[in-house]
Amino acid sequence: MYCKCGDISHAQHLFDGMIKKDVVSWNALVSGCFQFGFFEKALSVFICARKAQVSLDRFAYAGALSICSRTGDLECGKAVHGLVVVGGFSKHVFLTNSLMDMYSKCCRIEDVRRVFDNSDCLDDVSWNSLVSSYVRMGLGDETLKIFVQMHTVGCKINCFAVGSVLKCCSDSNEMLQFGRVVHGCVAKVGLDLDVFVGSAMIDMYAKNGELGEAAKFFKAMPNPNVVVFNATIAGFCRTELESHKEFAVEALSLYSEMQRGRMMPTKFTFSSVLKACNLTGSFELGKQVHAQVYKGSLHHDEFIGSALIDLYSDSGSIEDGYRCFNLMPKEDIVTWTSMISGCVQNEHFERALSLFDNLLAIGRKPDQFTLSSVMSACASLAISRSGEQIQSYATKAGFGKHTIFGNSQIFMYSRSGDTEATSQTFHEMNNHDVVSWSAMISSLAQHGCAKDALALFREMQNCRIAPNHITFLGVLTACSHGGLVDEGFRFFKSMEKAHAVVPNVKHCACIVDLLGRAGRLDDAEQFIMDSCFHEDPVMWRAVLSSCRIHCDIERAKRVSERIMELEPRASSTYVILYNMYLDSGRLSMAIKTRELMKGRGLKKEPGLSWIEIGGSIHNFVAGDISHPMSQAIYAKLEDLILSIERLGYVRSTTSELDDLEGNVNLLNCHSEKLAVTLGIISLPRVAPIRVMKNLRVCVDCHNTMKLFSAHEGREIILRDPIRFHRFRYGSCSCGDYW
């Protein structure tokens, strides 16, 4: 009575007071302890009964095996298995099933199979248990074979086995056809209406990209519950393809339907809905969902927190994302990764590195995605030393050979201008995906190695890796920088016809740049007018850059006016036109352009250059005197200018906008000159000087760097938004054409 009521303490007290304990009393106490969750006590009583040589019945053995399953005590489970065999209970089917469950929970699939194969008494539960065991171990192929056997022998399949099989079909596109067969089988017996099977079916179709099929299945279900809604909403948010964006919109409609039906959303609902808001750009709706999350006291959940961080990061509200991050327990590495990625995405690179340091300080272990995001921060700042430290950490942690991390290394070394390390990393990787190839091709293109980039593209095709839009952007950039007009057009035309990649505005701008650099400015303008992007300022800016190269002042004036109509707040257009007027000696037109710019409340974006020395980043603006070594930098720069004047250096006749505004000496102390001078002072003579700049390098600085490299015998690598300039022995890798 006490056992059946759950009062185990009184039952134990009564049992201890019994003079004669028979098999019934022992079995009753064991079963009672097990039934009400006193697993350790139940196992202790079972062992005592064995020591007292009491012949327990099969139910006590089943209870003991269940306890071993729950606790994962394999050794104890094996001992009970031996007692089952010795006691002659192995022919009882429910003990066979208990043994299979115990070995499965202890991850001993060989023992599960051995018990199954050696048993003379199997039922439907045995078969379904075998299927579930193989799924638990991730053995998809074996699971499907067993499922076929079950169907062949006429075994009755339960909803959990079907759900397990469908999960295997979700993990591989190759198994989708088998999943369709399973769908047909379960439909015949009516299991497709079960919520467990239904959610698994929707998940399978969604993971395989068959969102239309998932939607049909959902609509066919008579009374979907919150589990089915969650599976469908999550499935509709699984892809970021433009062609499937309407499903993300549908996910938001399903959420509204849940609310109308007064269904209580779970944390899985909220995390998927927040992703749907992100995919559709519904940031205001996302804030409303955030309020519902807060009202439900779910804002501390790691999954929801990560989704909120992603939402605010993608909307540009990184500070809101940071507030969400600070409210979370931060136990899960996914949360840290989301926040670090958000910082990188919003160009808060130094904060991303600081977060990574904090992560390590509290003992959290980053995964390959965390490390990849941090490497992106290093790449954007072009701080290879920090990147190498992270690489060392990743190698020790076993991530060094992972493709995703290798891709980040390629990006980091490429952005730092270290072509040798970029190439070495690429060739040392075990596997290359489309990202690896694209990153390497883009790196070669940015460094002016057009022929090498195109050769690598052909090698990629030989490896049967399908190129994507980023791959072609690198290929077309290579053709543009290399002056390969015919090749560029051939690749452009092959994009959609041969590779099903639809050109976007960036690809078209590359063609405009390709024609413009070759001096075919009329063709460049005609190409724009024939394209669907003729209203996009990106296209016209490419023409304007070519006008600067070829000193076509009249065309530049007309194109600038066009850009000003499309993008009136872009100061760079005014600056280019202003400098072209000065180059051509039209001072009055230059002043007029400056006044127009000032009248519209526009200012030239300040130039910023930076260099990494000893793991620290040193930032400079034009005329900067804030650096601790300013006095030494300016003294050295003055000596360098005097030295190269003896080599024939003459200040460029092109003045900068700042100079006309009264800062006549700024040209000699542009930010890149200050950064390079610090590098000359601080770095060993054998070390290349790597400087990054946020704006295009001016003509005077470009000429100066060539002479600095010749005079000092140093390699100077300067990255601007257009390309890399590698200065050696008085010449530049761009051939003075950028």
pLDDT surpasses 60 at 596: yes
In this structure, the answer to whether residues 716 and 619 fall within a common structural domain is yes
In this structure, the answer to whether residues 597 and 517 fall within a common structural domain is yes
Which of 695, 696, 694, 679 is CA-nearest to residue 612? Answer: 679
What's the pLDDT tens digit per position in 401-438?
678 888 888 988 888 888 888 999 999 888 899 999 99
In this structure, the answer to whether residues 593 and 663 fall within a common structural domain is no
Task: Please report which confidence band the pLDDT of residue 677 belongs to, taking 50, 70 and 90 as the band edges.
Answer: very high
Give the chain's count of helices (H) and strands (E): 39, 6
Cβ contacts of 210 within 8 Å, gap of 6 or more: 176
Cβ contacts of 80 within 8 Å, gap of 6 or more: 46, 61, 64, 65, 68, 102
CATH of the domain at 577: 1.25.40.10
The whole-number average pLDDT for the span 374-388 is: 77
Task: Please report which confidence band the pLDDT of residue 211 belongs to, taking 50, 70 and 90 as the band edges.
Answer: confident
pLDDT surpasses 60 at 656: no
**β partners of residue 716:** 689, 727
Which range among 205-219, 517-531, 582-596 has the greatest average pLDDT? 517-531
The whole-number average pLDDT for the span 490-512 is: 94
More confident site: 152 or 286: 286
Cβ contacts of 650 within 8 Å, gap of 6 or more: none
Segment among 21-30, 159-168, 401-410, 414-423 with least mean pLDDT: 21-30
Residue with tokens 């989708």: 176
Q: What is the pTM of this model?
A: 0.66
In this structure, the answer to whether residues 621 and 707 fall within a common structural domain is yes
For residue 11, the model assigns a pLDDT of: 57
For residue 511, the model assigns a pLDDT of: 96
CB 643 within 8 A of CB 712: no
Residue 638 located in a structural domain:
yes
Sign of CA dihedral 335, 337, 340, 341: negative
Amino acid sitting at position 477: T
Tokens coding 112: 């599960």
In this structure, the answer to whether residues 532 and 573 fall within a common structural domain is yes
In this structure, the answer to whether residues 570 and 629 fall within a common structural domain is no
Q: How many CA atoms lie within 13 A of 533 on its CB side?
A: 21
Amino acid sitting at position 170: S
For residue 18, the model assigns a pLDDT of: 59
Please count the structural domains in the chain: 2
Buried b / exposed e along 98-127 (16+ C-beta atoms within 10 A): bbbbbbbbbebbebbbebbeebeebeebbb
In this structure, the answer to whether residues 583 and 694 fall within a common structural domain is no
For residue 660, the model assigns a pLDDT of: 43
For residue 380, the model assigns a pLDDT of: 80
Mean pLDDT, the chain, as a whole number? 83
pLDDT-above-90 percentage for the chain: 37
Which of 256, 268, 275, 191 is CA-nearest to residue 227? Answer: 268
CA distances from 157 to 125, 197, 201, 534 (A): 9, 12, 15, 61
Which of 200, 172, 197 is CA-nearest to residue 186? Answer: 197
Task: Please report which confidence band the pLDDT of residue 356 belongs to, taking 50, 70 and 90 as the band edges.
Answer: very high
More confident site: 711 or 405: 711
For residue 25, the model assigns a pLDDT of: 67
In this structure, the answer to whether residues 523 and 638 fall within a common structural domain is no
The whole-number average pLDDT for the span 159-176 is: 69
Which of 210, 140, 154, 205 is CA-nearest to residue 179? Answer: 205
For residue 475, the model assigns a pLDDT of: 97
CA–CA separation, 149 and 115 (whole Å): 17
More confident site: 699 or 709: 709
In this structure, the answer to whether residues 554 and 621 fall within a common structural domain is no
pLDDT surpasses 80 at 529: yes
Amino acid sitting at position 201: M
CA–CA separation, 333 and 267 (whole Å): 18
Residue 508 located in a structural domain:
yes
Task: Please report which confidence band the pLDDT of residue 128 belongs to, taking 50, 70 and 90 as the band edges.
Answer: confident
Residue 333 located in a structural domain:
no
Residue 89 located in a structural domain:
no
More confident site: 196 or 563: 563
In this structure, the answer to whether residues 623 and 596 fall within a common structural domain is no
Segment among 126-135, 334-343, 422-431 with least mean pLDDT: 126-135
For residue 620, the model assigns a pLDDT of: 94
In this structure, the answer to whether residues 526 and 558 fall within a common structural domain is yes
For residue 503, the model assigns a pLDDT of: 94
Residue 509 located in a structural domain:
yes
CA–CA separation, 126 and 113 (whole Å): 11
| Order of all β-strands in the sheet with 689-693 | 616-621, 608-613, 689-693, 716-719, 724-728, 731-732
In this structure, the answer to whether residues 619 and 726 fall within a common structural domain is yes
Q: Among 569, 604, 639, where does a domain finish?
A: 604
Residue 548 located in a structural domain:
yes
Q: Among 543, 573, 604, where does a domain finish?
A: 604
CA distances from 280 to 190, 239, 245, 283, 287 (A): 36, 12, 7, 8, 14
Q: Among 604, 630, 650, where does a domain finish?
A: 604
Residue 593 located in a structural domain:
yes
pLDDT surpasses 60 at 116: yes
> Range of 654's domain?
609-732
